[in-house]
Structure 1
Amino acid sequence: MHEVSDFADPSRISAVVDGLRSVDGAQVSTDTAFSSLTTLRLGGTPSAVVRCSTTDAVAQVVRRLDDENVPLLIVGGGSNLVVADQPGALVAVVIEADAVTMSTRGHGLESTAAIIEAEAGAVWDEIVQMSVDAGFGGLECLSGIPGSAGATPVQNVGAYGAEVSQVLDAVQLYDRASGEVEWVSPESLELSYRYSNLKFTDRAVVLAVRFELSIDGMSVPLRYGELARRLGVDEAEAAAGEIRRPSDQVREVVLELRRGKGMVLEPEDRDTWSAGSFFTNPIIDESEVETVRAKVAERRGADEAVTMPVFPAGAGQEGKAKLSAAWLIERAGFPKGYPGQGAPARLSTKHTLALTNRGESGDGTPTTADDLVALARDIRAGVHAAFGVTLEPEPVWVGVSIDG
């Protein structure tokens, strides 16, 4: 959880914020709620919201707030935030710097790769669309993911068998301790499944990202079974990790799959008022897999236990296995749409891994962050009671915790 100071002096914060109005590229407001900044459309009003249209403005604003010890939260697309109804005395710094450039590494026929460089506030799916339209490959499996470019390395965004770490070339950071701006390598971020050493820390702010993509217009190897099948690829071939398809075809199918699960933002579709996949797929010791399977058999029967999805945990996690959070949630007794009509916060009716804001309860009371938090706690407790597996939330928590 992102900690918010309980003893920050509102008058002092107000004075500091007023000084930010002189920063070129910064716009200050004091009446903007987090509900208008997040895809969950939840969260109260912070002390101020500072929108930064340039990376220089981001660095200056963060530096001034840090110098004055004013609590702050960096906000991009707001797709990975669970914010309290009363977030406390803090300043939201919204990154809106969104310039994108494309080039190639090498010259002419000697070009070896495509390079896309994007400022942190660029809309992620627009970058993916640009890359595909330009005939590049590498980002197509990450189509339709809400949010901004700056968030992608922080949590090593991934979907359909691909991760940002596969194509990340460099990240530009503002170091909050030293005040320096520098480009760093992916290796320095210790990237792993939905993790980097930037996540859940305040040590640096992502200002820009750079990706190295293929110039042949072909996708990354197709490894995700559902996607491979839709593209006519045999699962055994997909498992070998060598089959690729044109990036535009892969993007089209990925968007279809995501829409079918309510994972593409649609203003009128309450199933998309979410933070995407709310829980990460749990990673456990391989020695624990059969224990979990036995608990599934006890609860759901031996035939279903045999079908429990188990995957390799990935590079650097030898001896570990990855389970499916969505599969466990459903088998623990939480169907799509749980807990049913009239609940202000519910599981998506399209996908059990998305917790959604329905706008209001059956009696017309507006949904609150507390409603969503209560649902998250209910589901996590139920999965643990059923199978002994503790689900970990993927979003950043601000002013509230799933642990109570």
Structure 2
Amino acid sequence: MAEITPVPLADLTTLRVGGTPLRMVEARTRDELISALQEAWSQGEPWLVLGGGSNLLAGDEPFDGTVVLVRTSGIQRVEGAREGHVRLRVEAGHNWDALVEYTVAAGLAGIEAMSGIPGSAGAAPIQNVGAYGQEIVETLVEVELLDEATGEVETVSADALGLGFRTSVLKQHYGRGAERSGVIVSITLELQDVGAGDVSVRGAQLRQALRLAPDAAVSLRWIRETVLATRAAKGMVLDDADPDTHSAGSFFQNAIVSASFARTLPPECPRWPMAVEIEPVTVIPLAAFDGVVPPPVSVQPDVKVSAAWLIEHSGPGKGFRLPRSRAGLSTKHALALTNRGGATAGEVAELARYIQHRVQSEFGLLLQPEPVLVGVEL
């Protein structure tokens, strides 16, 4: 590993905010990454792992600890895949979109809808990244995890990571720490080997985003190019010249609410059921049948609702800025809080609090931040 002269986190994060850490280490190999973290943990100092810096809002004050820059890379085919599938082991620092590009070129399906998401492969399972109804939980097999409690690397199955909607046991949610403290060293995905030809597109949300009929078949390459174009139109593909991309992506999570709460929202608010609703079946043993059939009990699945729609219909629209603030909503997508040039973390946080207040006042729902917040309060 190499200890380097610390630079402001504003230079390393896509939101372009954040103070300078006390110490900074660059890890380019697996062994360097493990060694750097073990050393930081042994000294009991604050630590922060930084990959692509795309899901972080860091405070303006200096970070009083060590920042480890994960610069590992590499993709390796490994054994154990089901028939018709391929397993890939990917180093934690590997660029996520470069990984997606690799899989599409190789004809491997499963993560193509997540094209254009910034960040590193090792960060993807932490918040179960996803886009257009496709999530990494669908393809993740396991991770190699450097556990802070033991200082050892262990293989952890995807089932043990508590992967849910933008969450896992490794994620630090706003207001509480991670359930398990550690750093992902590598991830293993199992992808379907479909080749370069056209394939059917699973998932209503993805078909809707791509404007495809239920029976449509397209190539992985077409899906990737269409998703990239769609994200670019929303300012969700990094571009140094475009302030709309100087963000942490979607700052607020699409909210998961009960079906009954969803019915209190305007019918125009986009929503997607989190599970298929199945009609209940009642089985009564013949010997116990008394001629009365109890009414069925319907259990309705939770519903995901659009945070972007809630924001725009609570007052703040695309391009909204508070007076004298250098932070603002993207002019292309109301879910992205952006740095319009020289904004501080405090200004971004102020805007986030205002939006939370407006949505809660209008719809009775408190939006939760998606990025990890370090040294910042909402």
TM-score w.r.t. length of structure 2? 0.87
Equivalent position SS for 2:48: strand
* Matches for 1:32-43 after TM superposition, within 5 Å: 32-43=7-18
Matched, 1:259 2:232: yes
Equivalent position SS for 1:117: strand
Matched, 1:233 2:190: no
* Shift, 1:29, TM fit: 2.4
Residue 313 of structure 2 is matched in structure 1 by 331
Q: Distance in 2 between matches of 1:315 and 1:61?
A: 45
| Aligned partners of 2:322 and 2:351 also within 8 Å | no
| Aligned partners of 2:127 and 2:166 also within 8 Å | yes
| Aligned partners of 2:275 and 2:301 also within 8 Å | no
Matched, 1:94 2:69: yes
| Aligned partners of 1:137 and 1:220 also within 8 Å | no
* Matches for 1:65-84 after TM superposition, within 5 Å: 65-84=40-59
Matched, 1:113 2:88: no
* Shift, 1:259, TM fit: 0.3
Matched, 1:355 2:342: no
Q: Distance in 2 between matches of 1:120 and 1:222?
A: 28
* Matches for 1:22-37 after TM superposition, within 5 Å: 26-37=1-12
* Shift, 1:358, TM fit: 0.8
* Structure 1 segments (4+ residues) deviating >3 Å: 102-106, 217-222, 229-232, 314-319, 340-343
Q: Distance in 2 between matches of 1:391 and 1:131?
A: 34
Residue 206 of structure 1 is matched in structure 2 by 184
Q: Distance in 2 between matches of 1:207 and 1:274?
A: 26
Give the count of matched residue pairs. 349
* Shift, 1:333, TM fit: 0.7
Q: Distance in 1 between matches of 2:143 and 2:125?
A: 8
Of 135, 139, 144, the residue aligned with 2:107 is 135
Query: Counterpart amino acid of 2:184?
Result: V
Residue 262 of structure 2 is matched in structure 1 by 289
| Aligned partners of 1:138 and 1:213 also within 8 Å | yes
Matched, 1:309 2:288: no
Which residues of structure 2 form unaligned runs of 5+? 173-177, 278-298
Which residues of structure 1 form unaligned runs of 5+? 1-25, 294-304, 360-365
Matched, 1:171 2:149: no
> Which one has a larger percent helix, Structure 1 or Structure 2?
1
Identical positions, percent = 41
Q: Distance in 2 between matches of 1:140 and 1:342?
A: 40
Query: Counterpart amino acid of 2:355?
Result: I
Q: Give CA deviations for 1:269-312 in whole Å, capped at 9, x if unaligned.
A: 11000000100011122222233x2xxxxxxxxxxx22122221
| Aligned partners of 2:57 and 2:374 also within 8 Å | yes
**TM-aligned CA distance change 1:140 to 1:382, over 3 Å:** same
Aligned-residue RMSD, C-alpha: 2.2
Q: Give CA deviations for 1:32-90 in whole Å, capped at 9, x if unaligned.
A: 11011111111010101111011211111111111111110111111000000104312
Query: Counterpart amino acid of 1:43?
Result: G
Query: Counterpart amino acid of 1:358?
Result: R
Q: Distance in 2 between matches of 1:261 and 1:224?
A: 21
| Aligned partners of 1:30 and 1:47 also within 8 Å | no
Of 25, 37, 40, the residue aligned with 1:50 is 25
* Shift, 1:222, TM fit: 3.5
Q: Distance in 1 between matches of 2:261 and 2:329?
A: 28
* Shift, 1:182, TM fit: 1.5
TM-score w.r.t. length of structure 1? 0.81
| Aligned partners of 2:311 and 2:359 also within 8 Å | yes
Equivalent position SS for 2:2: strand
Matched, 1:395 2:371: yes
